[in-house]
Amino acid sequence: MANWEELPQEILKLIAQRLAIEDFVAFGAVCTSWLSAATKETYDANSKAPWLLTNMYEQMPEICSPSRGRTYPVDSWGTKVMTLSPPGWVLALRKREVRSYMVKEYRIFNPLSRVSIKPPNLEKLRRDSLVRPMLRFRLLFTPIIERMALSSSPSLSRSYAVMISLNGEGRSSWLAFYRSGEDAWREVSPATHPPSSSVVQLIYYNGLFVALDVKLHVTTLNEGESRMESRLVLEQKFEGCPYLVECSGSLLVAWDTTGAEGNRFRVFNVDLEKGTEEEVKSLGKASLFLDKNSSFSMNFDAASCLAGFKPNHIYFTDYFTDFTPNYIRFLDLANDKTEKKIYSMDSGKVETYSDVIGHGHAGQWFRPNF
């Protein structure tokens, strides 16, 4: 064919769907015809290899492609990436001094599209708090967002919701959410009174925001009443860290059990309706990518572009030394040792994950998306 621009759109879309993210972006820059085939709706992040996002010592973040050995600086709104959400968005933090007082500002930011969204004011949430009335009088108390979950990508949907977990009084968390178009956070009442523990995992699953606290209490958001509802308390408890993650339509709890033989994982399928959990021995053609702030799964099929990764494995970051107490693991206060590791669900063996980038900091697993 003399003119590549005249290729049928259905063929161009089939080609675009199989491209890794950097090739997908380059594909759309060739000409108008190719750009019309490489739309945000065409790209399927679930079938593409994950990346690593690094952010150290107030430096600008970087995103790294382990399978290709490429690193790209992220021209983010802030200098600190606080937390991630599976649709490909991060929470960026910027600090500025106002009258000798350090003010924290947040943006929901997409490293790929560079779209930045300003969430509602946290100070108003503190001043108007009904769940935590004592915070109204703590003028120097600045709420810090610890976890974030998105219902969908703001770039792909005009209707989305954001839920956050903030530092509260003592070791208990404080929850709030808002929907697109709203100008204020809606405070969320806890499932127990008074709130008893810190939220260690927060995800969006099957139309629900789901939280897991340090006492292994699984709760979901009742949006209409702005309160959390109890679903179950996990019966299976191990000396380690639990991760909530969606995989092939199911909600899983993956336990990182640290013992004499190193990090071994136990995985359970959680049924929110029945309030039950059942152990999973194999992930089949899927693999899990776990992180303290955000976890996701990848499925291996004919359309996948997952070079360098293997099915039925768990990719995780070992944040802790052998002497780190469990309560510090949950509160994320110890980050003195980080290594990327892989756990095989078949053999039960753990190995160090190696790539061609050579970063000293392990970074966080990240799935680029629009």
pTM for this predicted structure:
0.88
Residue 329 confidence (pLDDT) above 50: no
Query: Tell me, what DSSP letter sits at residue 32?
Result: H
Residue 34: its H or E element? helix 32-37
Q: What is the DSSP string of 86-145?
A: TTTEEEEEEEEEETTEEEEEEEEE-TTT--EEPPPPHHHHHHT-SSSGGGGG-TT----E
The pLDDT-based confidence of 83 (bands split at 50, 70, 90) is confident
Q: Which CATH architecture has domain 44-366?
A: 6 Propeller (2.120)
- Residue 362, classed as helix, strand or coil, is coil
- Residue 301, classed as helix, strand or coil, is coil
Contact yes or no for 94/77 (Cβ under 8 A): yes
Query: Tell me, what DSSP letter sits at residue 294?
Result: -
Q: Are both 1-43 and 44-366 of the same fold?
A: no
Q: What is the pLDDT of residue 193?
A: 62
**Count of beta carbons in the 10 Å neighbourhood of residue 264:** 17
Residues 6+ apart with CB under 8 A from 125: 143, 176, 184, 185, 187
Residue 296 confidence (pLDDT) above 80: yes
Contact yes or no for 300/313 (Cβ under 8 A): no
The pLDDT-based confidence of 141 (bands split at 50, 70, 90) is low
What confidence tens digit (pLDDT) does each residue in 235-278 have? 988 888 899 999 999 999 999 987 545 568 999 999 999 999 99
CA distance 223 to 309: 38
Query: Tell me, what DSSP letter sits at residue 59?
Result: P
CA distance 251 to 244: 7
Residue 194, both tokens: 């008074």
Annotated domain spans of the chain:
1-43, 44-366
Q: State which fold the 1-43 domain adopts.
A: Monooxygenase (1.20.1280)
